[in-house]
Amino acid sequence: MKAVIVGAGIGGLTCALALRQRGHDVTVLEQAPQLGEIGAGITITPNADRVFADLGLSDRMVAQSVIPERQLTQHWQSGDIIRDVERGAATAQHYGAGYYHIHRADLHSILVDALSAAAPDSLKLATPVQDARPDGTVLTEAGTAVKADIVIGADGVKSQVRSRLFATEEPKFTGQVAWRGLVPRCSVETDMQPHFPGVHIGPKKLFMRYPVRAETLVNYAAFVELYGWQEESWTIPSSRAELLEHFAVWAPEVTALIHATPDDQLFKWALFVRAPLDTWINGRVTLLGDAAHAMLPFMGQGAATAIEDAMVLARALDAYPLDEALERYDTARRPRTSAIQENARLLGLQFQGEDPNAFNSGGIKNEEQLGLFDYDAVHVDI
């Protein structure tokens, strides 16, 4: 089978690898001319780690990620601990799979290296896709037509494949603006360094941080309910002063991280989502990851669900005739991801509620309480 995947993000690359390992011919078309250091931290939860283990990537994942011991939820101003969850060995033992934080660029390069080893020349950079057709034809912006048995739109929240072939509305601004920063750990005074990964929560705002790159860097993401500015890009620079307008009176561990952020390591973006679709199938074309179910990041499941999609789709395509495979993929994945989209939105409201101390009695379950970590994309019935 010949598969064309549009987009070399986390989901597209994982799917390419899973298909390649099953002996299929894969081409990945990526608009970016080069794959670089864009992005910062990504959380890999046990449900995603099972996929990487099956793809033979565990050793590199462990080597390049940080496995947190605990994870805290704290009051925005006092820093008082509202929830404390054990991670590390306890999580690994409970789920038989890991929970870790990794720099997106590191994860990306692990996937690219593995794909290059398995299928040299399968990744085509600087190849933006303009259109796709239900018969399996993909048209690049340069005017080349590529024909495939299956086309997989893994082209992110602004997916061109989705816009062209599916009954969809445009991406919708969520009212959330995010900032992300990367801070050299050594530049933050020791007593101001948060000891464990965690999130400070307050009314209409939250500030989440965790270490990456052998704990040499602290990655943070700050979310503010804010209307007006609405640009969705990973490369828009911001400034400490702009971020401090929103967090100046937050706990000293929060402001210390903001003050220590290098000038070129602070970016902001507006968060967009798209409503669930009625189907992910149009002829020989389907979707995965953010293209199919972009979600708010409050459950840390954006990358994990793209990785799950990738494995389930590859298994279905390998095991069944095309039409049946797509039906089975759609049935297996759409209800789960639609539910996660909605739960991530609700959890965000609970995180950003008026009274942080009421967080534990808010009634909205987090990703672990919902049982999301139990999902095994490698073995689930499809």
- Active site members: 210
Give Cα 113 distance to the centre of its chain: 19
Q: How many CB atoms lie within 10 A of CB 186?
A: 11
CB of residue 46 to ligand FAD, shortest distance in Å: 17
DSSP state of 66: B
Decide: 124 and 146 in contact? Cβ < 8 Å.
no
In 3D space, the residue among 158, 300, 290, 294 whose CA is nearest the CA of residue 219 turns out to be 300
User: Candidates 84-92, 93-101, 205-213, 300-308 — which segment interacts with ligand FAD by CB under 6 A?
Assistant: 300-308
Residue 306 binds ligand FAD, judged by CB under 6 A: yes
Residue 153 binds ligand FAD, judged by CB under 6 A: no
Close Cβ partners of 96 (under 8 Å, ≥ 6 residues apart): 46, 50
Cβ proximity to ligand FAD, 98 vs 153, nearer residue: 153
Judged by CB under 6 A, the chain residues 22 through 51 that form the site for ligand FAD are 29-32, 38-42
Close Cβ partners of 30 (under 8 Å, ≥ 6 residues apart): 7, 8, 12, 123, 124, 125, 126, 127
CB of residue 228 to ligand FAD, shortest distance in Å: 23
The sign of the torsion formed by the CA atoms of 32, 34, 39, 45 equals positive
User: Candidates 83-91, 169-177, 302-310, 353-361 — which segment interacts with ligand FAD by CB under 6 A?
Assistant: 302-310
Close Cβ partners of 344 (under 8 Å, ≥ 6 residues apart): 295, 296, 297, 298, 299, 301
Decide: 97 and 374 in contact? Cβ < 8 Å.
no
Residue 171 binds ligand FAD, judged by CB under 6 A: no
CB of residue 108 to ligand FAD, shortest distance in Å: 8
Cβ proximity to ligand FAD, 181 vs 194, nearer residue: 181
Question: Strands 198-202 and 70-75, how do they pair?
Answer: parallel
Judged by CB under 6 A, the chain residues 65 through 124 that form the site for ligand FAD are 104
> 4, 5, 7, 148: which one contacts ligand FAD (CB under 6 A)?
7
Residue 146 binds ligand FAD, judged by CB under 6 A: no
CB of residue 341 to ligand FAD, shortest distance in Å: 12
Cβ proximity to ligand FAD, 75 vs 210, nearer residue: 210
d(C-alpha 164, C-alpha 157), whole Å: 13
Q: Count residues binding ligand FAD (CB under 6 A).
A: 32
Residue 139 binds ligand FAD, judged by CB under 6 A: no
CB of residue 103 to ligand FAD, shortest distance in Å: 8
Residue 156 binds ligand FAD, judged by CB under 6 A: yes
Distance of CA 182 to CAs 73, 76, 271, Å?
A: 20, 20, 19
Judged by CB under 6 A, the chain residues 175 through 204 that form the site for ligand FAD are 180
Close Cβ partners of 247 (under 8 Å, ≥ 6 residues apart): 205, 207, 222, 254, 255, 258
Largest CA distance in the chain: 60
> 135, 145, 234, 369: which one contacts ligand FAD (CB under 6 A)?
234
CB of residue 62 to ligand FAD, shortest distance in Å: 19
Residue 165 binds ligand FAD, judged by CB under 6 A: no
CB of residue 215 to ligand FAD, shortest distance in Å: 17
DSSP state of 170: P
Binding stretches for ligand FAD (CB under 6 A):
6-12, 29-32, 38-42, 104, 128-129, 154-156, 160, 180, 234, 289-291, 297, 302-303, 306
